[in-house]
């Protein structure tokens, strides 16, 4: 069954507009709870969130929905997405919920679910939840004596901090290292600086004063200039930039150069391969990963298996094919031996372990390959225009095929709708940078001109 409500990463939209309303969140909580109620034991759902103003509204509505069908609720407050996945499993909850729109601006919000194993739900289960939402809610309500209870737990952050610290090699300390960490005024604003400080680093925190509307606003992994400036100004050894829910990471080396997800994947994959820790004979990436990463891995006898964009698709392939590491160029890094979903803080520590092991600066350790020239641009669509309709227009299809052919065997074109915003993303890469630039510009012009046609 095709999903109408769920996208590539849960349910997402503008806060207080459908589907991100209190009414829909209430129904979503009832339906998701009903899907995971089984047996006669007291059922438990754990709910975390980031720092968006609308998080209070969505949290309360979801809580009411879960309580009404007889589930008890643990509220953990602002915590990274990976923390919720970890705690769902370690606290033996039947379901975990994160209220976050990740790297999006504050006016957006979203809801994503984790099963009792700590992993995100499959497309099939999300479809089942949608089907339950269409049924009569009266059939799902618990009898009066079985209504659930809700309570807040205060030690959730501490549990996660200890779990993250346990992922570093025994005896590794960060004494003498100066690290800038930008928490994007988001979910990691308390826990990320504490982890690094407790491991011995001198920490310069940025983005740790959330006010409900400043999450991801000119800061974090999607706006890393603040970290770059701070690293250079403070003479830091490393900059760490997380996004609003801390499942995404980019780094900045001691010279102020950005280290993206592809370079981080190359660094961790090579280190784990040398240590005999890498399984599956390679890693899983997406269609967005740079060709340079694929060539780097091939030179070491490793493969890069590509999936559609979205960390859930990376994770699904990892679990099916036996890989223990994968990720996205944008900075989602998944290490299933450690956490059940992407964790920016854990990934940063794995890079730091490689740096400490090598005894070299970050600029040397994390510059593993020369990227093939790659350019990504977004074409924003009017609200009433379907990205799919635009991309199905015959002259747009023809333009994409011709552009891909023109780049030859050493290049490629990727055009896709965003899974979270009204955008069409246009990417091209190839050894000829000028040709890549012309290719992307031409396709963006074609798509922009086609949007009004698709609306008719």
Catalytic positions, written as ranges:
102
**Cα–Cα distance for residue pair 159/68, rounded to 1 Å:** 29
**CB–CB of 252/269 below 8 Å?**
no
Q: Locate 88 and state its tokens.
A: 């769902």
Query: Running DSSP on this structure, what letter comes out for residue 169?
Result: P
- Axis crossing angle, helix 344-358 with helix 156-165, rounded to the nearest 10: 30
Return all residues near 21 (Cβ < 8 A) that are at least 6 apart: none
Tokens 């790297």, residue located: 103
**Cα–Cα distance for residue pair 103/48, rounded to 1 Å:** 16
Measure the CA angle with vertex 81, ends 133 and 21; round to 5°: 35
Checking phi first, is residue 135 left (phi over 0); if not, alpha (psi -120 to 50) or beta? beta
Give me the long-range contacts of 195-198 (CB less than 8 A, separation at least 24).
195/161, 195/164, 195/165, 195/345, 195/349, 196/240, 198/161, 198/165
**Cis amide prior to 19 (ω within 30 degrees):** yes
**Closest alpha carbon to 98 in 348, 349, 341:** 341
């Amino acid at each position: 069954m095709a999903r109408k409500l769920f996208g590539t990463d849960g349910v997402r939209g503008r806060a207080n507009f459908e589907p991100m309303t209190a009414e829909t969140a209430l129904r979503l909580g009832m339906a998701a709870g009903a899907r995971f109620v089984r047996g006669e034991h007291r059922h438990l759902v754990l709910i975390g969130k980031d720092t968006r103003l609308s998080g209070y509204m969505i949290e309360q509505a979801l809580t009411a929905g879960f309580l009404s069908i007889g589930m008890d609720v643990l509220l953990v407050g602002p915590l990274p997405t990976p923390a919720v996945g970890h705690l769902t499993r370690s606290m033996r909850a039947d379901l975990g919920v994160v209220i976050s729109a990740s790297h999006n601006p504050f006016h957006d919000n979203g809801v994503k679910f984790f099963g009792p194993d700590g992993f995100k739900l499959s497309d099939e289960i999300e479809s089942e939840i949608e089907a339950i939402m269409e049924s009569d809610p009266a059939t799902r309500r618990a009898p009066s004596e079985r209504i659930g209870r809700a309570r807040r737990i205060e030690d959730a952050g501490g549990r996660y901090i200890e779990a993250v610290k346990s992922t570093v090699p025994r005896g590794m300390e960060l004494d003498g290292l100066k690290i800038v960490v930008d928490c994007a005024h988001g979910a990691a604003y308390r826990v990320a600086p504490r982890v690094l400080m407790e491991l011995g680093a001198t920490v310069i925190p940025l983005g740790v004063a959330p006010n409900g509307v400043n999450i991801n606003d000119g800061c974090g992994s999607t706006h890393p200039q603040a970290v770059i400036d701070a690293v250079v100004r403070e003479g830091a050894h490393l900059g760490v930039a997380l996004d609003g829910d801390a499942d995404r990471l980019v780094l900045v080396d001691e010279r102020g150069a950005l280290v993206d997800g592809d370079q981080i994947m190359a660094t961790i994959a090579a280190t784990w391969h040398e240590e005999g820790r890498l399984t599956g004979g390679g890693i899983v990436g997406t269609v967005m990963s740079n060709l340079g990463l694929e060539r780097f891995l091939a030179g070491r006898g490793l493969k890069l298996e590509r999936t559609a964009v979205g960390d859930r698709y990376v994770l699904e392939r990892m679990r099916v094919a036996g890989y223990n590491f994968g990720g996205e160029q944008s900075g989602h890094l998944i290490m299933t031996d450690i956490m059940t979903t992407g964790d920016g803080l854990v990934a940063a520590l794995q890079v730091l372990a490689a740096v400490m092991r090598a005894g070299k600066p970050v600029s040397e350790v994390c510059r593993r390959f020369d990227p093939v020239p790659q350019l990504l641009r977004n074409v924003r669509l009017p609200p009433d225009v379907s990205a799919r309709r635009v991309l199905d227009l015959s002259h747009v299809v023809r333009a994409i095929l011709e552009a891909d052919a023109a780049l030859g065997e050493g290049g490629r074109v990727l055009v896709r709708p965003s899974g979270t915003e009204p955008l069409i993303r246009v990417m091209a890469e190839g050894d000829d940078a000028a040709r890549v630039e012309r290719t992307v510009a031409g396709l963006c012009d074609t798509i922009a001109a086609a949007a009004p046609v698709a609306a008719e």
